[in-house]
Amino acid sequence: MVTIKEVVTKQDFKNFVKFPFILYKDNPYWVPPIIKDELETFNKNKNPAFKNAEARFFLALQNGKTVGRVAAIVNWLEVNDQNVKKMRFGWFDFIDDLEVSNKLLQQVQEIGLRHQLDYMEGPVGFSNLDKVGCLVDGFDHIGTMITWYNHPYYQKHFEAHGFVKEKEYLENKFLFSAADPKFFVKANSLIKKRYGLKALNFTSSKEIMPWVDQMFDLFNESYAKLSSFVKITDVQKAYFKKKYISFINPEYIKFVVDSEDRLVAFAIVMPSFSKALQKANGTLFPFGVFHLLKARKQSKDVIFYLIGIRPEYQSKGVTAIIFNEYYHTFKEKGITNCIRTPELEDNVAIRQLWKNFNPITHKRRRTYKKMLS
pLDDT digits (tens, 9 = 90+) for 292-333: 999 999 999 999 999 999 999 988 999 999 999 999 999 999
pLDDT in tens, 9-55: 999 999 999 999 999 999 999 999 999 999 999 999 999 999 999 99
Beta strands at 301-309 and 86-94: parallel, antiparallel or unpaired: unpaired
- The answer to whether residues 68 and 104 touch, using CB atoms and an 8 Å cutoff, is yes
Q: Note whether 218 and 279 are same-domain residues.
A: yes
Quick one: which H or E segment has residue 87? strand 86-94
Chosen domain end from 138, 170, 202:
170
Q: Note whether 246 and 273 are same-domain residues.
A: yes
Give dist(CA 32, CA 69) in Å, integer.
16
- The answer to whether residues 236 and 75 touch, using CB atoms and an 8 Å cutoff, is no
Q: Note whether 213 and 250 are same-domain residues.
A: yes
| Long-range contacts, stretch 289-295, CB < 8 angstroms, 24+ apart | 295/271
Q: Note whether 115 and 20 are same-domain residues.
A: yes
CATH number at residue 350: 3.40.630.30
Q: Note whether 164 and 255 are same-domain residues.
A: no
Q: Note whether 181 and 121 are same-domain residues.
A: no
Q: Note whether 212 and 315 are same-domain residues.
A: yes
Count of other CB atoms within 10 angstroms of residue 203: 9
For residue 347, the model assigns a pLDDT of 83
For residue 337, the model assigns a pLDDT of 95
Chosen domain end from 170, 190, 207:
170
Please check whether residue 91 lies inside any domain of the structure. yes
Q: Note whether 159 and 192 are same-domain residues.
A: no
Q: Note whether 225 and 130 are same-domain residues.
A: no
For residue 360, the model assigns a pLDDT of 95
For residue 227, the model assigns a pLDDT of 66
Give dist(CA 224, CA 76) in Å, integer.
17
Q: Note whether 178 and 303 are same-domain residues.
A: yes
Using 50 as the pLDDT threshold, list the residues of the chain that sit under it: none
Give dist(CA 120, CA 125) in Å, integer.
13
Which residue range forms the structural domain that includes residue 92? 2-170
Give dist(CA 293, CA 276) in Å, integer.
9
Chosen domain end from 109, 143, 170:
170
Please check whether residue 210 lies inside any domain of the structure. yes
Overall number of domains in the chain: 2
